[in-house]
Amino acid sequence: MHKTDILIIGAGPVGLFSVFQAGMLGMKAHVVDSLDMIGGQCAALYPEKPIYDIPAYTKISGEDLIKNLHAQNEKFKPIYHLSQQVTSITNDGKAFKSITSRGVEIESKIVLIAAGAGSFTPNRPPLANIEKYEDKSIFYMVKNRENFRGKKIAIAGGGDSAIDWTINLAEIAEKIFLIHRRDKFRAAPESLSQVESLEKAGKVELVVPYQLHNLEGENGILQNVIVADLNGNEKKLDANILLPFFGLATDLGPIKNWGLGLEHFHINVDQASCETNIPGIYAIGDVSHYEGKIKLILVGFSEAAIALHHAYSRVFDGKALHFEYSTTKGAKGL
C-alpha cells in the first residue's frame, strides 16, 4: 500500500503540470497512466506536432513540452505507475483507496483525474486492405518527421491535426495533397492562411471536396491514393504516404463506473473548484466539463492550480492556505 497526498490519474501535460502545482503546495503525488510512458497524446501520437498556444513559446513540439514538464517536476520526486489503469476507488471517510490493473494499491487524501479523453486509438478510414499498408505507407501519427523527407504525402482530414501537419511537413516533403470532403476546414484562421500560401507556392494541392476511396500499391508500399467526390468521380493521386487524421476513438474505461456525474464521456465539475460530485475527487483538462469550457492545454494548466488550491485544506486537515506568488515564496531546488 502506497500512501500519498494526491493520486493523479493521467500523465499527459495537464497531469504532469499538476505534479508541479502539488509540489509547490507541499503535496506529494503518485501518477497512474495506461501508457508505458509519460506525456499522453503529446508523446504517443503527436511528439513532433508544433503547439502554438503555450505562453512564452512561439511554438513548441509535443515532445519538448513533455520533456520540460518532466524536468520541472523532478525536484518533487513524483512516483509514476505506468502501463496500468486505476480500476477501482473506495473511500472510508478518511482517505481514498485506489487499486490499479496491476494490483498496485494507493491511499491518497484526494484524487485528481487528468485523463484527457481517456484511452484512445486513431479512427481508421474504411478502405479495403488498409491493414497491408499500415506502419509501412499509412501512418496515424508522425513520430519522426524526417522519415517523410522528399515524399509525396496525402494528408486526409479537415481539422487542426491535418492542417498543422500539412504546414509542418511542407518544409521537407516533395509535395502534399490535402484531402477533405468539404471545401472548408476546421482550423485556426492563421493556419489556413499558411496553407493558402503553400498552395500558391505549389507545395500543397488542395483535393476538395473529395474522400478517400481506394489504395494502389504492392507489398505494403503505396503507389497511388484514389479519391472520389460525392458524385462518384474518381481522381488518382501519386502519393506514396497517406496520413489519415480522422480523430480518435476514446474510452473512459473504469472511470465510467465510479459514480461520477458524466455528460457525453466527460466529467461534470464545479467550475470554481474543479471538484466532481464526489467530494475530494477532482477532474481537470479535457476530461472535465462545465459551461463555457475551452479545451486548451493552457486551460488545463489553470484548472490544475484551481483544483489543488481548493484541495489544500483537505490534504492538510483543515489548514488554511495563505496564498503567495511563486516570485515571493520560490520553490525548493529552483
Angular region, 280: left φ>0, alpha ψ -120 to 50, beta rest: left
Predicted pLDDT at 119: 67
Nearest CA-CA partner of 143 in 15, 25, 37: 37
Task: Give residue 152's identity as a one-letter amino acid code.
Answer: K
Decide if 34 contacts 12 (C-beta within 8 A): no
Each residue's pLDDT expressed in tens, for the chain with a length of 334 residues: 899 999 999 999 999 999 999 999 999 999 999 888 999 888 877 777 788 889 999 999 999 999 999 999 999 999 999 999 999 999 998 999 999 999 999 999 999 999 987 766 788 999 999 999 999 999 998 878 899 999 999 999 999 889 989 999 999 999 999 999 998 999 889 889 999 999 999 999 999 999 999 999 999 999 999 999 999 999 999 999 999 999 877 778 899 999 999 988 899 999 999 999 999 999 999 999 999 999 999 999 999 999 999 999 999 999 998 877 776 666 654 5
Decide if 32 contacts 85 (C-beta within 8 A): yes
Predicted pLDDT at 46: 74
Predicted pLDDT at 331: 66
d(CA 324, CA 326): 6
d(CA 41, CA 62): 9
Residue range 124-244, CATH number: 3.50.50.60
Supply the DSSP string of 55-85, one letter for each residue: TT-S-EEHHHHHHHHHHHHGGG--EEE-S--
Cell 488545463, located at residue: 300
Decide if 112 contacts 18 (C-beta within 8 A): yes
Nearest CA-CA partner of 279 in 97, 96, 106, 22: 96
Matching CATH topology for 2-120+248-329 and 124-244? yes
Task: Give residue 73's identity as a one-letter amino acid code.
Answer: N
Nearest CA-CA partner of 100 in 251, 255, 281: 255
Predicted pLDDT at 302: 97
- The ranges assigned to domains in the chain are 2-120+248-329, 124-244
> What class is the 2-120+248-329 domain?
alpha beta
Predicted pLDDT at 187: 86
Angular region, 157: left φ>0, alpha ψ -120 to 50, beta rest: left
Predicted pLDDT at 284: 98
Burial track 164-175 (b if 16+ CB lie within 10 A, e otherwise): bbbbbbbeebeb
pTM: 0.74
Query: Which residues on adjacent β-strands are paired with residue 236?
Result: 226
